[in-house]
């Protein structure tokens, strides 16, 4: 009987129960989706590192690609090699890797993809299946993995690092850290939303709960029932939320796998796990209980102090501490901590400041400059900002996040595009095959009449130390990038900092460094560096700093004339403009001189298309998560706004009783709802712009080593404003039904929501 009386509120107000259930389900869905993707990213990167760690590949010294015959011949010769067949399927399926579990047996325990015979689905599959895909026309490439210390290799073969990309550890850590931060932000926003809906429902039940208490039910018993009710509802709603979250992760997973593939050259995204992520469910149950029952744990004194003048001063100090912390933070962790403080302070202050502003704009009774109806609307707005503080803050955070992510991604795309355009000045790029003599190719190009500008790019490794180091300081390994001849192809490079005539100075023995190295070593133009290349030390002045939106490693650029004899190139290529010649003619001559039939020639357009695809996929997840968060926050505000408006409906009806025409009444409602959502969006703007700055100027330099120009996109603000106005109009539309037509005077017992 007591339980029936207890839950009778929801029989009368099923919408409130539905709203809470919906919010818990959606919050669980979003959190589960993000958790699954982040965990899989972490596992994928871990597997990737495990798979390629301490492994080398066998290549032919004649520069020809290895074939199945090479594999068979090497195995017969007693060399432990295993085939690794990469097959590139068209998007969204992406890359798969065919391996032979039996052949991997000779490596012992550290076989990629698990124990021999234990293929765990995509991206690893049996090599026979991969070969079938390849036979159907998919691009494929065979590699032969070998042990690191195999000395029985015949002379016609050589060992080479099996690294299909540069090392990614640092970049991967940063990527995962950013995903974790985004996940926490999602958790924070969902927590706020669940709490807001639960608090509103509780406020509506205050009278009936008090009645139970007056009828003799102990307060403790009432609380026990509330906890039981919440636990039952959470248990019921978390399950569909988990399932939906797993589905969401599955939908986003394809794009995410591509992102990993492109960003890290990690072809190991394990796809979605069949089992439900129970850990995410546990976190969500704890979150729901914590945010909903927080009021019983916190002393009432604290709760009251939070919205007092003193509380707001504390919020201001928290905000200030966060802002200062982010500027001065020495590491990523501190930046995230400072950002959390800024969000806490902003969230604490925003509803109070908005309410204060609305109150002030409403004018006083003696202020005849504001019409009384407008004054009333602004007072109602102030009430809403106070009563809807939590969903208002959640929407503000979500809008700020979407805004910042959008600005970051757009800026990155634009900047990267410009950067790529200046880097891809040549029309074609020819890779020097493994084992081939690049100098022979260079000689051929020099002899070709009518050929356009070209240069030779040599990549390898070096180390640097500041010239005043006297051998005492740390020696830093860097990537080496050697160029020659220096000509038209690099003339338009935008340098972040440079001396006069930097390319001439480079040709005369200067060094250029990338932004990552300049930031990390605190180097600038005019400094002198000791660069160790193979067995040779050279002392060179820094003549320019260039942008490099790649991995975090430091890089030095020298003229290739400075490369010592002993230097061993890791990778070489030619950037070529054919000029009066055709590229087919040029590549034929190079293939002849290198005695190969398998010359890799890429054109500018295909590289640009690849790069666009890479970045489109890379930011798919970030965009999707932030947009979903925005949708969730919008739905929450819509639900809360609707429920809250319902409690204030009588005051609109009072205006109708006082003779305000129905059209004007509807207009008041629309203006109030739209002003509410637009104000929240406006309040999110400074936070979003600040977050953009943090991402481009603080997090990127610390995580990746490079910064991006700070840019804002007012058109996107406008789009967000339209979305916000749309939410407001939907709230107004939902409320209209209640206000249509004259309303009989309500009995006093129906009077609720008289807060001001």
Partner 1 sequence: MPGCVLAIEGLGKSFISGGQNVPVLAGLSLAVNEGESLAVMGRSGSGKSTLLNLLCGLETPDTGRITIVGESFDHHGKSGPDDRWGELRRRSIGVVFQEANLMPALSLLENVRLRAYLADQPAGGERQWLERLGVGAEADRYPDQVSGGQAQRAALAMVFAMAPALILADEPTGSLDRHTADEVADCLFAMQRDNGCALVLATHDAELAGRCDHLLDLTQPG
Summarize as ranges the residues that interact with partner 1 (CB under 8 A): 365, 368, 371-373, 375-376, 379-380, 382-383, 650-651, 654-662, 741-746, 748, 751, 754-756
Quick one: 488 or 755, whose CB is closer to partner 1? Answer: 755
Q: How far is the CB of 668 from partner 1 (least distance, A)?
A: 12
Quick one: 662 or 710, whose CB is closer to partner 1? Answer: 662
**DSSP letter string, 308-360:** SHHHHHHHHHHHHHHHHHHHH-SSHHHHHHHHHHHHHHHHHHHHHHHHHHHHH
In angstroms, rounded to a whole number, what is the distance separating the alpha carbons of residues 97 and 86?
Answer: 5
Quick one: 47 or 668, whose CB is closer to partner 1? Answer: 668
Place of tokens 């959640």: 394
Q: How far is the CB of 514 from partner 1 (least distance, A)?
A: 59
Collect all residues with Cβ–Cβ distance below 8 Å to 517 and sequence separation of at least 6. 464, 476, 478, 523, 554, 555, 556, 705
Q: Which contiguous run of DSSP H or E holds residue 295?
A: helix 278-297
Q: How far is the CB of 756 from partner 1 (least distance, A)?
A: 4
Is residue 16 within 8 A of residue 201, CB to CB? The reply is yes
For residue 153, report the phi and psi dihedrals to the nearest 5 degrees.
-70, 130
Quick one: 617 or 668, whose CB is closer to partner 1? Answer: 668
Q: How far is the CB of 371 from partner 1 (least distance, A)?
A: 7
Q: Tell me which DSSP letter residue 522 carries.
A: T
Q: How far is the CB of 379 from partner 1 (least distance, A)?
A: 4
Quick one: 366 or 522, whose CB is closer to partner 1? Answer: 366
Quick one: 474 or 754, whose CB is closer to partner 1? Answer: 754
Residue 153's Cα: distance from chain center in Å? Answer: 44
Paired sense of beta strands 95-99 and 124-126, if any: parallel
Q: How far is the CB of 754 from partner 1 (least distance, A)?
A: 5
Quick one: 377 or 519, whose CB is closer to partner 1? Answer: 377
Q: How far is the CB of 199 from partner 1 (least distance, A)?
A: 19
Quick one: 330 or 744, whose CB is closer to partner 1? Answer: 744
Q: Which contiguous run of DSSP H or E holds residue 48?
A: helix 14-52
Quick one: 239 or 660, whose CB is closer to partner 1? Answer: 660
Q: How far is the CB of 213 from partner 1 (least distance, A)?
A: 23
Q: Tell me which DSSP letter residue 368 carries.
A: T
Q: Where are the beta strands (DSSP E) in 428-546?
A: 428-431, 454-466, 476-484, 495-498, 511-514, 528-533, 536-546
In angstroms, rounded to a whole number, what is the distance separating the alpha carbons of residues 139 and 614?
Answer: 18
Q: How far is the CB of 657 from partner 1 (least distance, A)?
A: 6
How many DSSP H helices and E strands does the chain contain? 22, 16
Instruction: Please tell me whether residue 370 adopts helix, strand or coil conformation.
Output: coil
């Amino acid at each position: 009987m007591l339980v029936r009386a207890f839950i009778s509120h929801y029989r009368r107000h099923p919408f409130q129960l539905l709203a809470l259930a919906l919010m818990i389900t959606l919050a669980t869905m979003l959190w589960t989706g993000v958790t699954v993707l982040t965990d899989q990213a972490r596992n994928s990167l871990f597997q990737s590192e495990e798979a390629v760690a301490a492994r080398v590949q066998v290549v032919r010294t004649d520069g020809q690609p290895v074939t199945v015959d090479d594999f068979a011949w090497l195995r017969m010769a007693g060399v432990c090699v295993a085939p690794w067949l990469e097959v590139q399927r068209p998007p969204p399926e992406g890359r798969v890797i065919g391996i032979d579990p039996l052949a991997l047996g000779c490596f012992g325990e550290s076989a990629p993809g698990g124990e021999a015979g234990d293929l765990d689905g995509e991206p690893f599959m049996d090599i026979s299946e991969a070969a079938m895909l390849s036979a159907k026309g998919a691009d494929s490439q065979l590699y032969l993995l070998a042990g690191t210390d195999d000395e029985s290799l015949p002379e016609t073969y050589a060992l080479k690092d099996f690294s299909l990309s540069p090392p990614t550890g640092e970049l991967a850590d940063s990527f995962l850290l950013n995903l974790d931060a985004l996940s926490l932000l999602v958790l924070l926003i969902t927590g706020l939303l669940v709490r807001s809906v639960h608090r509103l429902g509780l406020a509506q039940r205050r009278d009936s709960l008090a009645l139970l208490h007056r009828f003799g039910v102990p307060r403790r018993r009432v609380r026990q029932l509330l906890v039981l009710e919440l636990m039952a509802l959470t248990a019921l709603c978390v399950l569909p939320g988990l399932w939906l979250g797993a589905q969401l992760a599955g939908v986003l997973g394809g794009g995410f796998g591509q992102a990993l593939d492109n960003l890290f050259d990690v072809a190991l995204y394990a796809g979605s796990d069949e089992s439900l992520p129970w850990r995410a469910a546990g976190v969500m149950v704890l979150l729901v209980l914590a945010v909903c029952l927080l009021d019983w744990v916190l002393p009432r004194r604290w709760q009251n102090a939070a919205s007092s003048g003193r509380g707001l001063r504390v919020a201001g100090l928290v905000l200030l501490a966060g802002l200062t912390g982010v500027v001065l933070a020495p590491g990523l962790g501190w930046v995230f901590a400072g950002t959390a403080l800024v969000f806490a302070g902003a969230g604490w202050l925003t509803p109070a400041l908005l309410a204060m502003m609305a109150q002030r704009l409403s004018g006083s009774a003696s202020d005849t400059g504001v019409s009384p109806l407008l004054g009333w609307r602004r007072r109602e707005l102030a009430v809403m900002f106070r009563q809807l503080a939590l969903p208002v803050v959640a929407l503000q955070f979500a809008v700020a996040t979407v805004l910042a992510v959008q600005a970051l991604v757009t800026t990155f795309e634009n900047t990267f595009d410009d950067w790529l355009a200046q880097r891809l000045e040549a029309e074609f790029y020819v890779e020097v095959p493994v084992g081939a003599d690049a100098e022979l190719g260079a000689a051929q190009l020099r002899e070709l009449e009518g050929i356009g500008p070209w240069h030779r790019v040599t990549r390898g490794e070096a180390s640097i130390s500041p010239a005043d180091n006297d051998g005492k300081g740390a020696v830093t390994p860097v990537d080496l990038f050697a160029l020659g001849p220096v000509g038209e192809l690099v003339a338009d490079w935008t340098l972040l900092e440079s001396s006069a005539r930097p390319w001439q100075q480079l040709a005369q023995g200067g060094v250029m460094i990338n932004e990552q190295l300049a930031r990390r070593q605190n180097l600038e133009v005019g400094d002198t560096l000791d660069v160790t290349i193979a067995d040779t030390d050279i002392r060179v002045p820094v003549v320019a700093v260039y942008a490099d939106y790649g991995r975090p490693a430091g890089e030095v650029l020298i003229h290739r004339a400075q490369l010592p004899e002993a230097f061993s190139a890791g990778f070489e290529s030619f950037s070529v403009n054919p000029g009066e010649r055709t590229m087919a003619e040029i590549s034929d001559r190079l293939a002849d001189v290198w005695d190969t039939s398998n010359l890799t020639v890429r054109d500018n357009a295909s590289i640009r298309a690849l790069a666009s695809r890479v970045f489109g996929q890379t930011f798919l997840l970030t965009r999707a998560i932030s947009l979903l968060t925005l949708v969730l926050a919008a739905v929450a505000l819509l639900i809360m706004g609707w429920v809250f408006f319902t409690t204030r409906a009588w005051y609109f009806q009072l205006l109708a009783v006082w003779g305000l025409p129905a059209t004007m009444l509807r207009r008041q409602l629309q203006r109030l709802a739209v002003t509410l959502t637009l104000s929240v969006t406006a309040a999110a703007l400074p936070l979003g712009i600040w977050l953009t700055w943090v991402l481009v100027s603080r997090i990127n330099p610390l995580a990746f080593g490079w910064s991006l120009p700070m840019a804002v996109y007012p058109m996107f603000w406008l789009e967000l404003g339209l979305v916000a106005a749309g939410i407001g109009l939907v709230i107004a539309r939902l409320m209209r039904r209640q206000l249509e037509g004259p309303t009989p005077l309500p009995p006093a017992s129906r009077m609720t929501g008289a807060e001001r």
